[in-house]
Each structure stands twice: as C-alpha cells, then as structure tokens.
Amino acid sequence: MTDLKKFEGYDFEIDIPDRENFNPLNQAVEVVLTTRTGERYSANFVTRAFVDYMFEKNKRTGECANGTYFCMPDRIDIEEIKDENVRKTIDDLIKNLEIENYFRKID
C-alpha cells in the first residue's frame, strides 16, 4: 500500500501554456503535484466543455474515427479549472486512496 503521508503538505502547479487565451471553463491543462518528499506526479485536467469541443472538432476533421471517441492519458474531468477546484480534487483523491490511480509519477 502507498504511504499517503508523503502527500501531506503537497504542492501543485497548473501548466497553462497560453495564458492570454485561457478559458477555465473550456480547457485542458497538465497539473503537476509535488509531494513533501519531492516526488512529482502529473495528470491532465479537462473541462466538460473541452471534451464536447473535441468531439465536435473530430467530427469535422475526421480524427478519432470521425468523432466517435475522445481519449487522453491520465485524464481527470473537472467543471472549471481553478486552484480551488484542483486542490479539492487532489485532496479527495488522496482521502479516497485513489491519487496514484489518476496521477502518474514523473521524473
């Protein structure tokens, strides 16, 4: 079993590549979580509106079997990308012993 104490006092960073055009309700971003022991974990946070946009785009472009599916590794769906929501999500995943199911270890 994972030692969840290492997640106590964690920090996280939301990687927003294009801050000028950032829309917290329609976006996909990488979140990097750093444990108190210095281990780093990563997951993609995706809004529902972004997923809807991708289905429509893929129907137009023919990607993903003409919009039949959308997939993305290590994906967590979220209503709105903001620090408070990301922290609540991480806290809940830790509490429910699921953090390592959705965040992959990096480095």
Q: Could you list the pLDDT tens digit for every one of the 107 residues in the chain?
A: 467 789 999 999 999 989 999 999 999 999 999 999 999 999 999 999 999 999 999 999 999 999 999 999 889 999 999 999 999 999 999 999 999 999 999 97
Instruction: Choose among 22, 16, 14, 2: nearest CA to 43.
Output: 14
Its pTM stands at: 0.89
SS3 helix, strand, coil % of the chain, rounded to 5?
A: 40, 25, 35
Both structure tokens of 53: 């946009």
Per-residue pLDDT, 3: 72
Q: Can you tell me the distance from the alpha carbon of 32 to that of 85, in angstroms, rounded to the nearest whole number?
A: 14
Q: Can you tell me the distance from the alpha carbon of 105 to that of 82, in angstroms, rounded to the nearest whole number?
A: 22
- Cβ-Cβ contacts under 8 Å for 91 (sequence gap 6 or more): none
